[in-house]
Chains A and B, each alone.
Chain A
Amino acid sequence: MPAKAILLPFYVVVDSSLSMSGEPIDSVNDIIPTLCDLLRENPTLRDKVRFSMIEFASRADLRVPLSDLRDVQKPPLLTADGATSYAAAFRLVRELIETDTEQLRADDFSFHRPAIFFITDGEPTDADDVWHREFDTLVTGTNFPNVVPFGVGETNPTTLNELVHPKDRFHAYTVAEGHTASDAIKETTQLLIQSVLASAKGTEEGADGFVLDPDFQTEAVIPVPMDEDIPWKD
């Protein structure tokens, strides 16, 4: 059966560990209201976008199930606390993508490859092999997502580079020298919002799906070089 509609699913996976409290988490809380406002002016794009938000600290929680943004009345506010379990985040988003895409198919929808914006300000507190294993499982399924990581605090660039998928299409982003974590996350959320719009617009023009807005000039967050030898101060 041909599809009822062709959708573009986005998952925002956001670190809500204690270090994100204050301005950073406020910026994240603004994503959904801002997106709703912008999509109101772009009805044909709004029909395509499906949006989900997951927060993680010592564990991961689904805060906004994959939805048409018209149906998200009052987005739940994220609060910041606890540790930074990447493994819990990757496991939950993988399970969600599996069940969400199954449900979309069952409802006769077709979809572009899901996109994950992974926003963190710290290093994983799980054992290395544990979060690596969860990440590998996430990006090797049939409906593997595109993953773009943003380090908005003290995250090691080497760690961030490992979270990019596929590596020939996307970059990791990190805080530029001379900018604060709070600037970085503000810009990250703007880039995220513009990229949702650019992706939806792109599909209208026959493009493949998720793209980062090519016209968004970032200052506070910059792409991490893919070079193996990244100088990193301990």
Chain B
Amino acid sequence: MTAESIDDVDGIAEVGDTGDIDAEEFAESAPCTFRIGDPGSHEEVLPRLALPAEPHAEYGNFPVPVCPGWRKPDTVFDGARHGSLTVRAASTRGDGHRHGGTPRQDDYCLYGTDDWLVAAVADGVSQGALSHLAAEAAAETGCHALATQLRAGVAPEELDCESVLRDSAKAVVRAVHHSLARETGETGVLPLGAVAQLASAAVVYAVVPAGAAPEAGREALLLWVGDVTAWTLSDAKGWLPLTELKADGGKKVVTGTTAALPLLGRESWHRAMFTLAADEVVVLMTDGVGDALGDGSGEVGTALHSVWRRPPEPHAFAAQVDYQRSTFTDDRTVVGIWAS
């Protein structure tokens, strides 16, 4: 949220009377919490419903409308078997957005075909007022585009990734125009730069074969733009990054810039094939989890490893993704795919 909207938040706090239940009671009423280290002021956060933002900026002829998609639930999760794979997914609103009454900007998508599981995790760039739409559009469209090629018999290593990302980028642009048109009746075309300022998202896709595992493990594909991360996790090797980590492993002065759709440069996206062994889980995550995980060697890595040895019960998985830890207040999204 920009500093501008701090005033909005104050305004909402004054108008909406939240005096009936205080933050402490709210926390006590939560039966299922997962703490890693110092929870910080988590218990003092009284989540507010995401309210539509006031129109607050003009982009060309398009006033930013009452924020479409503001009804996004605080938390969504899934648990499923697909072929011989087990999948868990959860996307939870960060304490910062909860406190401010703004929507979750992360999203995920799971897409099963007869032979494949396609999954995506997307992180809407927080400066964009409509970035939650970008995350949703990029996750869904990319999965669909990958599944379409896979159904046509293209092998993972042969997939046309650039066209998948172009489809995702177009979907972000369409989602923004669609919502502006719906809210304002305007039907003009915004320049790409203006769309990106309103809505953009980092995203990672994984394509994993769903059939019985060959002895050598499953050959799987990763495709990503921006600072979302993917890992394998196993008892034998612990957390192993499949995407590049932030250069300093969280040790130096922290900075944050990231590539994001709908902007797509030749250098800004990556693909990699990897082998998923039978005793491994592949974990896709947004930086709300990734920043605290670092290189996997700290207490967050240890705690999540201990509960993700086997697929947790789906509600529990969502609570684990929503772990409490001081200063880590961003939205969090994780998809875990267990090989057995």
Contacts and interface: CB of A to CB of B under 8 A. Distances in A.
A75 to B, nearest CB: 20
A203 B2 CA distance: 10
A157 to B, nearest CB: 26
Q: Which of A113, A143, A207 has the most CB of B within 10 A?
A: A207
B301 interface: yes
A219 to B, nearest CB: 18
Interface residues of A, number: 37
Contacts of A42: 99
B284 to A, nearest CB: 18
Contact of B96 (A44, A194, A215): A44
A229 interface: no
B254 A111 contact: yes
B6 A2 contact: no
A25 B64 CA distance: 44
Interface residues of B, number: 50
A206 interface: yes
Interface in B282-323: 287, 291-301
Interface stretch (A4-12, A148-156, A166-174): A4-12
A213 B330 CA distance: 21
A117 to B, nearest CB: 16
A223 interface: no
Interface string B242-262: 000000011111111110000
Q: Which of B2, B126, B296 has the most CB of A within 10 A?
A: B2
Contact of B249 (A2, A198, A206): A2
A112 B292 contact: no
Nearest to B1: A205
Given A4-B299, A6-B328, A108-B298, 17 more contacts: A2-B250, A2-B292, A2-B296, A4-B298, A44-B99, A44-B327, A46-B41, A105-B251, A110-B250, A111-B254, A201-B1, A205-B2, A205-B96, A206-B127, A206-B330, A207-B256, A208-B255
Interface of B: 1-4, 6-7, 13, 23, 37-38, 40-42, 44-45, 94-96, 99, 125-127, 249-258, 287, 291-301, 325-330
10 contacts: A2-B295, A3-B250, A3-B298, A6-B254, A44-B96, A44-B99, A113-B253, A205-B1, A207-B127, A215-B7
